[in-house]
Structure 1
Amino acid sequence: MVDAWRGRERALRERGVDVRLFSAGRSEEGGEWVALRPRPGEAVEAVDTLGRHPALFLYDPRPLWRSLGEQWDVIDIHEEPFSLATAEILLLRAFRRNRAPVILYTAQNIRKRYPIPFRWFERYALRLASGISACNADAAAIASEKGFAGRARVIPLGIDPAEFTPVPERRSGGRGAGDQHHDVVVGYIGRLVPEKGIDLLLRALALEPRLHLRVAGSGPLGASLPARALALGVAHRMTLIGAVEPDEVATFYRSVDVIAVPSLTTPRWTEQFGRVAVEAMASGVPVVASDAGALPDVVGGAGLIVRQGNVPELATALVSAGGERASDLIAAGALRAAECSWTSVADDYIALYRSVTHAEGPDPASAVEIVVVAYGRPDLLRAALEPVAGMPLTVVDNSSLPEIAELCTEFGVRYIDPGRNGGFGAGVNRALVDRLVPGADVLLLNPDARITSGQIAVLQNALRSDRRLASVAPSQVDESGRPARVEWRFPSPGNAWREAIGLSRLQRGARFVIGSVLLLRAEALDQVGGFDEAFFLYAEETDWAYRAQSLGWRHTLVPAARVVHVGAATSSDGHRRDAHFHASQERYFRKHFGAIGWQSARVATWGGAMFRAAVLPGARGTEARRRAALYRLGPMRVESRLRDAS
């Protein structure tokens, strides 16, 4: 709608992306109706809308229907997942049978439970989406918590650096740089509402006589602001400018020494980005912001962050930012603002588009990086490392044993001690945070498994032969040469019932491969993200594979590759191991099928175990009775009791 906000599409077109943009013909922005005004030759189509609320309006479906009848590589919906407009577009897409992957946008960084049907809209949209663009880290995390299968990407809102540029004296620090005694002109621009913290600025002026304030904006507090300043004795140091036209915003930034963003979080609102802060930094103006919402992430180390509502801290920071720290903040702000330029934002979106279309980069991964998560048993780890020690390899030691650290030094591989036993998934994620070979495929190797570099090459050749494959695994045998099952159907309530009544051979659904030796495709890792650390032990690879499958990936066994896997060699307590295994199954069912799906699978497993306990003799019957008791009590509850007892 707003011309400046269409900079993303213009930057994408400059990079050769064919973008067809549909925008509301008019909408309410900042309390005023704004009409779409395309630039000459700009490829944007105005669409009539019904409704005024950002989450409760609908588009005229006719132009969208026509466009969805065409073939597109990506459908990018810049609306919240819970919104009525998102539901409308996804419904039209379904009726049109358009299979292009969908990307959604979110800024919602407060955990809200929406009323029906918006809760349903949100859940459906997040489960259908192939990608998420979030303008702050909390919004990305919330999208994943609510059901998005992949890695939500944090992509900032953009600015035009050609519009927001510093005047020459700003580049060298401005007029007050290094001077702790000169007056500091503080700027505020935005809505004049209580949650924006404008009253805090007036109180900061009352505390610090060197501060002067220029206020640009309009809103409910506009009429009472002069009286409030007078009551605090700072009216002579405050100038109320009123609303500023968009083409005058940059000039306003350059007229002040510091921009303040002293927002206050409320139960229903917090800062979702803070574009003002980025624009000010691009204009060569230091920024002081509160720690409300996304502001600390947006400002980063390029500005000063103060605690919400702390007036003395705010006053001190404003004086410092406009004086002794001005030069450093201006330099850091310029670097941060460059990361939010439309060109940088466009690059981030192109990477996202390539990810959801499963496009290989110009140089597809040829290297393999190995990750081993160890817990005790240095003898087994030695056997695992010997055949692959010359490859890029990281050992994450959840047991923090000096012997394992020494073993890694001996083999010349990277050793990481996370300082705690967070489980297998947490260990893998720790290694993925700091990659030895960025962009390489990743082999997950259990410390009780052995594979050679030649077998790894066979695995990677199979993985790279099909661009739809997210993971591959070799065939496995134990130390006696007995084959072990590697490929399985995904667990589901239906499959749980089939197994309970003895019809496992009739199980349905896609397949995955287990993770004792598992090669993950770099592009799939990029889209799906790391492992869910709620799975302490077992089912973490099942969960990852299910999420990848939801995003259009596949998994397969590679019979030509063969490894030896001892199995359960790092755990000697069978009862505890079973509790962890079935607790992870409960987490998996609850996460992907909800409470009802879990209860269905639980009843099926309990019923099947009770039947086997009644008919099977000896140890098999005893094991079935133990399984039935575990599911009667609840595996996660039993696991929790075991942890408390230890």
Structure 2
Amino acid sequence: MKILVIDKTAVLNSSHERYERITSHAEVELCVFSPTSWHEHMRQVRAERTHHPAYRIELGRTFWNGSYSRGFYLTGLKRCIRDFRPDVIQLLEEPWSLFAGQAVKYAKKIVPDCRLLFYTWENIYREGTYCSKIDFLHRRVEASVFESASSGICATETAAEVLSRKGFSKPTPVIPYGIPSRFIAAEEEIHRRQARPLSEPPRIGYIGRLLEMKGIDTLIRALTKVEGELILLGSGEAEKDLRALSADLGLEPRITWISAVPPEEVIEHLRSLDVLVLPSRTTVTWAEQLGRVVLEAMGSGVPVIGSSSGSIPEVIGNSGLVFEEGNEKELAEKLGSLFENADLRRGLIQLGWEKVRDRYTWRSFADDLIHHYQSLLNESQA
């Protein structure tokens, strides 16, 4: 089975764990196509990996670098499809992106019999609108991709529901992304964390971009109603306003601000916490799509509390606590119950770790993808 994956985030070395898992399947021959460079994690990244012994890596230059919806490849993609001639093309793209439209155009001409799939995170249904000045073009691209695709892979159940509302009637399996294996603690470490007493004062953490839609102001206000030290790790355009809010509330001595750190350093900060909070707030155009940091915390043995925004309740399930987004009083109550109830903390640590171990690994992602690809290919041969 020859699989071509088109993935802008493959410029990051950390993205390649999923491809190593895919190529652990003996029947797979894999090629990964990505940009020569891409604006990712608020920085311009040149492809950190250009060779791998287990699979091919091909690169192409892009136009509108950093734009997920309006960018497209200037070089390399057509040649890659022509030379590799895949049985399966997996687009890690929304079906309305110009990258997806470009790939479909080439695939129809060069490998018309291949199985083509896209990947979607979109969890808000917006009839005919795409948050862009070129909505008309995105509508045409999406219609073309829907017609040509054999399947749409969904990050969450909510994303599958959105595809259904858009009229996409082909298979839409939910195959969520995994998290890096370094965030999945050994069982012995989980037992140690369950036995560990709370820090004094308890360490409450948020890790991510400091943006208005992330609801960090709700977390800061909740801190006025509960004991604890707040650690905010990240940077972003809302930082100035958040610092002003913390000063107005007299919370400056209780908040530690840490600028964004390299991905490999996040885990040490995460493991220092007693609880991680993701207080995201839904806007007209956005709701939390997965909350990867929640999964990283659960895998590391850190209890989590998340808001009701987007897919957070689906991801957390019974493995953490959920509060109504924007409700600082309820968030403070959830924090208080977690701090006061050691049995609750131990139970959530266990449930969270088991959920990530069983559902959100790159091995699970790869196994489910390959099984789905094989079923599509078998149908075409029947």
Q: TM-score, normalised by structure 2?
A: 0.88
Provide Cα deviations, 1:24-66, integer angstroms capped at 9, x if missing partner: 1211123221221117535322211111311111113444334
CA distance in 2, matches of 1:121, 1:274: 28
> What residue in structure 1 maps to residue 350 of structure 2?
331
- Equivalent of 1:49 in 58, 62, 66: 62
Partner-residue secondary structure (3-state), 1:355: helix
- Equivalent of 2:336 in 313, 319, 332: 319
Provide Cα deviations, 1:384-422, integer angstroms capped at 9, x if missing partner: xxxxxxxxxxxxxxxxxxxxxxxxxxxxxxxxxxxxxxx
Aligned residue type for 2:69: A
- Equivalent of 2:223 in 205, 211, 223: 205
- Equivalent of 2:196 in 153, 175, 179: 175
Partner-residue secondary structure (3-state), 2:276: strand
1:203, distance to aligned residue in structure 2 (A) = 0.4
> What residue in structure 2 maps to residue 374 of structure 1?
none
Alignment partner of 1:286 is 2:307: no
CA distance in 2, matches of 1:77, 1:261: 29
Map 1:613-628 onto structure 2 (within 5 A).
Answer: none
1:153, distance to aligned residue in structure 2 (A) = 1.1
CA distance in 1, matches of 2:52, 2:162: 39
Aligned residue type for 1:194: E
Provide Cα deviations, 1:208-253, integer angstroms capped at 9, x if missing partner: 1x12100000001223333321211211111001112111011111
> What residue in structure 2 maps to residue 196 of structure 1?
214
1:166, distance to aligned residue in structure 2 (A) = 6.4
Partner-residue secondary structure (3-state), 1:127: helix
Is this contact kept in 1: 2:184–2:299, CA < 8 A?
yes
1:130, distance to aligned residue in structure 2 (A) = 0.7
Structure 2 residues not aligned, in runs of 5+? 1-10, 130-134
Provide Cα deviations, 1:137-182, integer angstroms capped at 9, x if missing partner: 12112222223222311111111223442696642415336x9xx6
Is this contact kept in 2: 1:261–1:277, CA < 8 A?
yes
> What residue in structure 1 maps to residue 5 of structure 2?
none
Map 1:439-454 onto structure 2 (within 5 A).
Answer: none
> What residue in structure 2 maps to residue 9 of structure 1?
19
Is this contact kept in 2: 1:174–1:326, CA < 8 A?
no
Alignment partner of 1:258 is 2:275: yes
Q: CA RMSD in A?
A: 2.1
Aligned residue type for 1:93: A
Is this contact kept in 2: 1:285–1:330, CA < 8 A?
yes
> What residue in structure 2 maps to residue 348 of structure 1?
368
The 1:8–1:206 alpha-carbon spacing in structure 2 relative to 1, beyond 3 Å, is same
Alignment partner of 1:149 is 2:159: no
> What residue in structure 2 maps to residue 36 of structure 1?
47
Provide Cα deviations, 1:254-307, integer angstroms capped at 9, x if missing partner: 011111000000001111111100011111101100110011111121111111
1:337, distance to aligned residue in structure 2 (A) = 1.0
Map 1:376-455 onto structure 2 (within 5 A).
Answer: none
Partner-residue secondary structure (3-state), 1:108: coil
Partner-residue secondary structure (3-state), 1:155: coil
1:9, distance to aligned residue in structure 2 (A) = 1.1
CA distance in 2, matches of 1:289, 1:230: 25
Is this contact kept in 2: 1:306–1:313, CA < 8 A?
yes
CA distance in 1, matches of 2:112, 2:84: 8
Is this contact kept in 2: 1:126–1:146, CA < 8 A?
no
> What residue in structure 2 maps to residue 530 of structure 1?
none
Alignment partner of 1:267 is 2:278: no
Alignment partner of 1:221 is 2:238: yes
The 1:467–1:68 alpha-carbon spacing in structure 2 relative to 1, beyond 3 Å, is closer
Partner-residue secondary structure (3-state), 2:160: helix
Aligned residue type for 1:108: E
Partner-residue secondary structure (3-state), 1:162: helix
CA distance in 2, matches of 1:236, 1:331: 33
The size of the alignment, in residue pairs, is 358
> What residue in structure 2 maps to residue 101 of structure 1?
115
1:124, distance to aligned residue in structure 2 (A) = 1.7
> What residue in structure 2 maps to residue 27 of structure 1?
38
Provide Cα deviations, 1:326-371, integer angstroms capped at 9, x if missing partner: 1001100111111101111111111221122126xxxxxxxxxxxx
TM superposition outliers: structure 1 runs of 4+ over 6 Å: none
The 1:159–1:207 alpha-carbon spacing in structure 2 relative to 1, beyond 3 Å, is same
The 1:257–1:216 alpha-carbon spacing in structure 2 relative to 1, beyond 3 Å, is same
The 1:260–1:309 alpha-carbon spacing in structure 2 relative to 1, beyond 3 Å, is same
The 1:310–1:101 alpha-carbon spacing in structure 2 relative to 1, beyond 3 Å, is same
Provide Cα deviations, 1:477-497, integer angstroms capped at 9, x if missing partner: xxxxxxxxxxxxxxxxxxxxx
CA distance in 1, matches of 2:216, 2:94: 28
The 1:323–1:170 alpha-carbon spacing in structure 2 relative to 1, beyond 3 Å, is farther
Map 1:234-245 onto structure 2 (within 5 A).
Answer: 234-245=251-262
Question: Highest CA radius of gyration, 1 or 2?
Answer: 1
CA distance in 1, matches of 2:340, 2:228: 11
Structure 1 residues not aligned, in runs of 5+? 360-465, 469-646
Alignment partner of 1:117 is 2:137: yes
Aligned residue type for 1:50: F
CA distance in 1, matches of 2:186, 2:329: 29
Provide Cα deviations, 1:78-124, integer angstroms capped at 9, x if missing partner: 11100001111111112224310101111111112232121111122
